[in-house]
Structure 1
Amino acid sequence: MDMDENKPTEKTELGMLRIDLQDSLRQSSVDPRKLSSFQRILLTTDGTVTEILEAQLWEAIHIVKLFQDITDAETAIPFLDIGPGTRIMVRKVLLRGKYSHKNYIYAESILVPERLPDNIRESLMETQKPIGQLIMQNRMESFREILTCKLEEARELSEYFDIPDDAMLVSRTYRVFANRQPIMLITEKFPEAAFQQTD
């Protein structure tokens, strides 16, 4: 029997256990076969991206807040099961190497503050800690559902990564559930040319 017979020949035939990930890749412009192993980990992980970066890069990662505000949603956000006028927190951050000062990932998130414990909500406002780290520290049970994966031009984000405007970013969007309801919607982006070397 040919051992290659069971290998996927198309990105839509990956046979992954996670249905959400398989569905998002099937509908995306991202071909996982063209990514490095570490890029695929970043794209598909259900873990804390900050800790994964630290383990791979052997460098402490810290958060640089670019924008944060609490406002009312202008329109309904179906992925969060909320309608217009719902109070939301909007955050835009960079995951940056503490010593290299290199920006590794850009992330933007929409959170529903009323669905978060008070201590996590306060820490988001007052500290530089990543969302995933706060969830872990507070032992908050959560589940992540990957919604979309895609390639897109860097455009205004290019300055953060020192790349041309038309360079491509790998992007994924997922939502986090706690107590059986979605509490946040997160999009993470990194340059397609980044993390090619995994040694």
Structure 2
Amino acid sequence: MHRYAGRAALAPSPPPFRCDGFTRDGVITAISGASLSLSALPPFLRALLVTDGTVTKILEAYFWEPVVVDTLEQRFESAQEPIPWIQLEAGDTCLARDARLRGTDSNRSFADAFSLIRIGLIPPGFRQRLIDREIGIGVLIRDSGLESYREVLDVGLDHTAEGASAVFRTYRIFIDSQPVILITEYFPLDLYRGGA
């Protein structure tokens, strides 16, 4: 959860890509201060940053292979400090989940994802499927027929779990008009530039 400590205060306001998928002079930055023009990103990676659809299905269509969500770790955690993006207060418990979106034919890692889920605000059947790690969050929401809304909050530069340069996006998912899930996806730059 520490990755969100104070990040909301640093994120652009209004959130990026709320109304547009195009920002002529758009730049993404790292906490270190390094920056990169959005126009320098591969077109498909720009599309991933702005999408409000299920990333797994988009990756399958682009790379033309099945993509699975491997849950690497899942645990219940108590927030050490508030996370305003999903109205989480210090001491509140949520489900934290580390996952990887992987092509089953190539075994390539297309993205790493970290999620915080306010588990108490999710319907019981949906909650159990999440805890049981049945499928990815996006597919689970779609298959459950839950009405939801996704809002991109932040984009920037960082690193994957393996240390490779990555572009990330953080977004939240509203269910029943409440911010319930916060997800940060990390896309390795070399892969999308054709170097992996």
Q: TM-score range by the shorter chain?
A: 0.7 to 0.9
CA shift for structure 1 position 33: 0.5
- Report the number of matched residues: 171
CA shift for structure 1 position 17: 6.7
Which letter does structure 2 place at the counterpart of 1:191?
P
Match of 1:83 among 53, 78, 89: 89
Tell me the distance in 2 between the aligned counterparts of 1:78 and 1:108.
17
Secondary structure (helix, strand or coil) at the match of 2:89 reads coil
Tell me the distance in 2 between the aligned counterparts of 1:101 and 1:68.
22
Which letter does structure 2 place at the counterpart of 1:186?
I
CA shift for structure 1 position 34: 0.5
1:130 aligns with 2:136: yes
CA shift for structure 1 position 82: 1.9
CA shift for structure 1 position 110: 0.3
Q: Aligned residue for 1:47?
A: 53
Where in structure 2 are the equivalents of 1:163-178 lying within 5 Å?
A: 165=163, 167-178=164-175
CA shift for structure 1 position 191: 1.2
Q: Aligned residue for 2:104?
A: 98
Greater strand percent: which structure?
2
TM-score w.r.t. length of structure 1: 0.79
Where in structure 2 are the equivalents of 1:138-157 lying within 5 Å?
A: 138-154=144-160, 157=161
Q: Tell me the percent identity.
A: 35
What are the ranges of 5 or more consecutive residues in structure 2 without an aligned counterpart?
A: 1-16, 30-34
Secondary structure (helix, strand or coil) at the match of 1:33 reads helix
| Conserved? CA contact 1:175–1:182, under 8 Å | yes
TM-score w.r.t. length of structure 2: 0.80
CA shift for structure 1 position 139: 0.8
Greater helix percent: which structure?
1
| Conserved? CA contact 2:81–2:89, under 8 Å | yes
CA RMSD of aligned residues (A): 2.0
CA shift for structure 1 position 101: 1.2
The structure with the larger Rg is 1
Tell me the distance in 1 between the aligned counterparts of 2:20 and 2:106.
37
Residues 75/21 of structure 1: CA separation in 2 closer, same or farther (3 Å cut): farther
